[in-house]
Amino acid sequence: MATKQRALKLAAEGGKPLPRPCAPAAPTEAPDPARLPDVAGHRTGIEVAPSPPPLPGVLGGDALDRMLHAGLARVTAGISPAALGLAYTDWWMHLAGAPGKQAQLMQEAWSEMVRLSLSAARSAAGEVCEPCIQPEHRDKRFQDEAWCRPPFDMITQGFLLTQKWWQQATTGVRGVSTHHEAVVSFATRQLLDVFSPSNYVMTNPLLLRETLEQGGANLYQGWLNALEDMERRLTGRGPAGTENFRPGKELAVTPGRVVYRNALIELIQYSPATGQVHPEPVLIVPAWIMKYYILDLSPENSLIRFLVSQGHTVFAISWKNPGAEDRDLDMDDYRRLGVMAALDAVGAIVPDQKVHAAGYCLGGTLLSIAAAAMARDKDERLKTVTLLAAQTDFTEAGELMLFIDEAQLTYLEDIMWSQGYLDTTQMAGAFQLLRSNDLIWSRLVHDYYLGRRSNQTDLMAWNADATRMPYRMHSEYLRRLFLNNDLAEGRFEVEGRPVALTDIRQPVFAVGTAKDHVAPWRSVYKIVLLTDTEVTFLLTSGGHNAGIVTPPGHPRRIYQTARLRDHEGYIDPDRWRAAAPVHKGSWWPEWQAWLAKNSGAPVDPPPMGKAEAGYPALEAAPGRYVLQP
């Protein structure tokens, strides 16, 4: 801390800050995580309110407002009424002043009503009619042939025409801000989906048939499923079936040892599986929004096990699941106590070797920040940088941007202020809304109306094992990256000075997933614009999680990859996709070959930990932090 204060003072006085030494300071024995001290790192200019008062009393206006917002959030599922109201007001006022748009919508409504009425009359007379409208190709609700028979065909087409009309009404209104238009369109679509005929027994032919055949037994079983789910939520247990997928038992079983632990991370070193290994170790930086073992699921789905089997020495960070006591951890704490502390440990255990660093999702964003700061400070410990579904420019960050504006962030900050963190359920709700038909309504139909249970998979069980977000860190992350886009625009500061991704000179391997709702692949592709180095970009089929967890032998995966060099000129993402060759199968061997190409000749494996350097081999993987509820 003293070094950081000295550097900031020198910078303020116009002097040149001294680089901070990276000497490791590791514990020689495993401390009790419950007794680990709180850590306060370098603070940025982001304003974060102090902790709420411990006892009730006379509150200041700001504290009272925050408490009110935190209470309202329990009713509104974390959605700011002000943000929603501003968006709808912007849309309504501009629509009210657009008689031409109103006339167009009235004409469209009349035309579609006439078409639907004529189609219904012909259908009632026994004629076979072409549908007035077809569902979008991504809409799987009405695929069964039963939806094509009367009266369900008219019910479905009426709903789809209504949905189409509201889409036209909420978009293309001149003068409405792009963000407000997206919010209104999204919110209206969510509201309409509540009334989808697929969600009700009497308007869903599949549910009606199942209920009649079983004499209502499916509804009774669905009621039991709903009661069980409610009991599990109230008692803090995971969804039904997740008890068969436990970290350290069925999942995260690749052999290894915890070789370092601090107040924020455990560093796991994995045991070699080959007689010799590539000399450069691989350090994996997962996102702290998730448990690290998404990259070490069941043995057949483990990316870490795959790398070890190919002769790589692999280290992985396992983040602590923060609680209220960690409210003041910030972005720089995650960089300093996470990436940099891990690099110190890896450098001590495998000396005189550069490191292949790989970051997934938010871990990739954090790794980009760390790599840029290291390049600025002439720290040359990285050999390559790999970014898996990780964004560095947030101007096109997908539908998550619907929840990012000043009103919504202020509301979210008040929620975190009251409890010290963002809870797992509060965060999961936003992701579920982005795919409500797949994650909410289809589950309602399947589990509660049909009375069935989906078979849990390792990926589904991991997805239910969510983590919390510290108040200060999450506020800084959302404001500095999502809202202000400071990293891409050169304003993101590390230790008092801005960093630039253009300083990174190591080869970069970037992976995007074609169906990503969290980090859209075109947004991930922007690393090509932001760096002045060789970038190998790979686009794989699948979504944010399933696209990354793609082991060899996956029957439905394809990927495209091509190398882009800085001196060859910019290629936009659509031209790149049109030109890049298509390959069948997993992208893992492609990445491993790239790592091997950038590595030296195999050598004997390094030891597990290095006690004499302060990094003893502690307990077996997966360690303690991943087991924290």
Q: Which residues are catalytic?
A: 361
The string over 288-301, giving b where at least 16 C-beta atoms fall within 10 Å of a residue's C-beta and e elsewhere, is bbbbbbbbbbbeeb
Using a 10 angstrom Cβ sphere, with 0-12 exposed, 13-18 middle and 19 or more buried, the burial of residue 386 is buried
DSSP 485-552: -TTTTT--EETTEE--GGG--S-EEEEEETT-SSS-HHHHTTHHHH-SS-EEEEEESS-TTTTT---T
Question: Strand pairing partners for 615?
Answer: 610
What are 499's two structure tokens? 């960093």
Q: Is 52 exposed, middle or buried (0-12, 13-18, 19+ CB in 10 A)?
A: middle
Residue pair 38/320 in contact (Cβ under 8 Å)? The answer is: no
Tell me the three state secondary structure of residue 194: helix
Three-state secondary structure of 103-162 = HHHHHHHHHHHHHHHHHHHHHHCCCCCCCCCCCCCCCCCCCCHHHHCCCHHHHHHHHHHH
The first and second tokens of residue 493, run together, are 């500061």
Partners of 513 in beta bridges: 540
Contact indicator for 313, 606 with CB cutoff of 8 Å: yes
Read off the tokens for 461.
């069980």
Q: Is 173 helix (H, G, I), strand (E, B) or coil?
A: coil
Q: What kind and span of H or E run contains 261?
A: strand 256-261
Q: Could you give the CA distance from residue 607 to residue 277 in angstroms, rounded to a whole number?
A: 12
**Spatial distance between the Cα atoms of 241 and 447, rounded to a whole number of angstroms:** 13
Quick one: residue 203, left, alpha or beta (phi over 0 = left, psi -120 to 50 = alpha)?
alpha
CB-based contact 80:407 (threshold 8 Å): yes
Distance between CA 220 and CA 198 in Å, rounded?
A: 19
Phi, psi of 508 (to 5 degrees): -115, 135
Question: Rounded distance, CA 300 to CA 298, Å?
Answer: 6
Rounded CA gap, 220 and 450, in Å?
9
**Structure tokens given for 323:** 């609680």
Helix, strand, coil tally for the chain in percent (to 5): 50, 10, 40
Q: Which class for 503: exposed (0-12), middle (13-18), buried (19 or more C-beta within 10 A)?
A: middle
Give the C-alpha separation, 564 to 540, whole Å: 17
Query: H helices then E strands: how many in the chain?
Result: 22, 14
